[in-house]
A and B are shown apart, each in its own frame.
Chain A
Amino acid sequence: MRFQSFEEMLSYWAERKENGPALIFDEHGKSSWSYAEFLRRVRERAEELRAGGKTCLGVLADGSRDCVVEIFAAVMAGLQLVMLDENAPEELLRRLIVYTDIDALWGDEDLCEELAPALTAGVKDGKGKILFFTSGTTEQAKAVVLTEQSLCASAWNGGAKLPLQPEDTLLCLLPLGHVFGFVCGLLWGLSCGAAVALGRGARHYGDDCAFFEPTAVSVVPLLLGFLLQRRLTNPGLKLVLVGAGDCPAQLLGAAAAMGLRVSFGYGLTETSSGVAISVQGDPYAMEVCPDDTITLAEDGEILIEAPTCVMQGYYKRPADTAAVLIDGVLHTGDLGRFDEEGKLHITGRKKDMLVLPDGTKLYLPEYEARLMQALGHTELAVILQNSRPVLVYSGEGEAEELLRRLRPAMETLPRGQQLAGAIVVDEPLPRTATGKIKRWELQQKMER
């Protein structure tokens, strides 16, 4: 069912699944709200928010049932909504509050109090806008303006390819402040009338499957690895949707060996989450979702036309918007190819590419995978220093020794592409919440 608003979605299922659970959560044991109960609470809270006179609510998303109510109620009340990561550094949160015109905060009381001095006078034309931040893998985070229509369309799009049934339970483990977590961890389930089990946070990554007994779960590759290596999935789990990052083949193979159906999704914050998804067979071969048209530019860049799901633009950054959204087509910066069956494969990221002085290009995911394999270590990245590729290695070791071990792998590359040096750091590489390396931040840090 294609919905235009959150209220329509909840009302539809409240009528058809009156006593069936919408949200399952831990409240001194497993508890739930029906769709009718959930809708009633959202409407009540929306009334309070309307009366409160605020215009832009920042939600420090903790994934609780009250957080979900607040999100839906703010949208229903016509406030501009900004989804914030409650674990982000306070200084960053202050900057984002000012940038996005937030005049009210919801979340941990102590944190809200600390951030309160940064609150602004609000916004005049924010109605209907829902702001998510890009993961900032290659540059500073930008607020992407989405709407409930675009998010509902995205949930429908995914559900059309990968439907859940009202009897299913979707476990929501990922942060709601990220669009993949919000759409694929929450809206996907609600739009299909399934129950959504609200994970209890990072502390319970290890036992949420056993506690909630889901039939489906959305994860990032890092979390999939954790669940599989420690065999933390429950016997009733049938479907795993993996997204928001590259997923090693051995991980997908391990999941399949455990009898799990694994689908891989591709999408961006700018498209309100997924635009292509693998349904059966090769998990890397993805079918384009019904509302989307995907073509490839001459250099292989993935171009997306998704009228129902694409962003309105980057908040208060028209030049950035104009650079990627051209005549309604989103230039993703990702590289792909279509196979003979017309299925999309992701081959790299244009922005994860280094251009060398001799005109050759280094595709970092592929290059780094080569280094990872040679060193048997994944906590590394490559940056450019003096126009030459340099390894940044997080962990213990000597730069010279690392380069010595890499020599056989380097010898197979053109000279200009060989590593010019190595830097060993004793702290983790900066990563986004979904595990991607923050290349922009790493480059800046190393230059300092």
Chain B
Amino acid sequence: MNRQEILDKIRTVILDCFPDMRDMTMEEDTVVNTETAIDSMGFILVICKLEALFDIKIPQRQWSKLSTLGDVADAVQKALEKK
């Protein structure tokens, strides 16, 4: 799966969890784990859905380090490579 496909799937999951963000442009450098976009509990929800979708585990110690959409894509990519 290439990076663009991963990014697209992450966007879909985020919009699925937070439909209010449909009008928001989400680029690689968009900060996704702040209150403007997704609060910290909502972020956990997104991570859990991504883990289920990609059948991966993103170590919980890394969660607090994920800030932008690109960071999340990196973490997914890394976890996919480990599979």
Contacts and interface: CB of A to CB of B under 8 A. Distances in A.
A426 B60 contact: no
A206 B37 CA distance: 19
Interface residues of A, number: 24
Nearest to A227: B41
A352 B60 CA distance: 30
Interface stretch (B4-12, B28-36, B74-82): B28-36
Contacts of B33: 428
Interface string B18-49: 00000000000001011111011110110110
Name the residue among A86, A87, A225, A378 with the largest chain B CB count within 10 angstroms.
A87
A86 B64 CA distance: 13
B61 A428 contact: no
Contacts of A99: none
A58 to B, nearest CB: 16
B55 interface: no
Contact of B35 (A86, A111, A377): A377
A203 interface: yes
Contact of A223 (B41, B48, B60): B41
A236 to B, nearest CB: 23
Contacts, number: 56
Contacts of B48: 203, 206
Interface SS of B by simple majority: helix
A149 interface: no
A428 B44 contact: no
Nearest to A428: B34
Interface string A198-232: 00011101100000000000000011011000000
B35 A379 contact: yes
A357 interface: no
A223 B42 CA distance: 11
A223 B40 CA distance: 10
Contacts of A428: 33-35, 40, 67
B16 interface: no
Nearest to B36: A395
B41 A226 contact: yes
B44 A87 contact: no
Contacts of B47: 203
A321 interface: no
A394 interface: yes
12 contacts: A86-B61, A87-B64, A201-B60, A203-B44, A222-B40, A225-B41, A379-B39, A394-B35, A395-B35, A395-B37, A426-B31, A427-B31
The 10 closest A-B pairs by CB, nearest first: A379-B35, A395-B36, A226-B41, A426-B31, A395-B34, A203-B48, A396-B36, A202-B44, A394-B34, A87-B61
Interface of A: 86-87, 111, 201-203, 205-206, 222-223, 225-226, 377-379, 394-397, 426-428, 431, 435
Given A87-B63, A203-B60, A394-B34, 9 more contacts: A86-B61, A201-B60, A222-B41, A226-B41, A377-B35, A377-B36, A379-B34, A396-B31, A428-B33
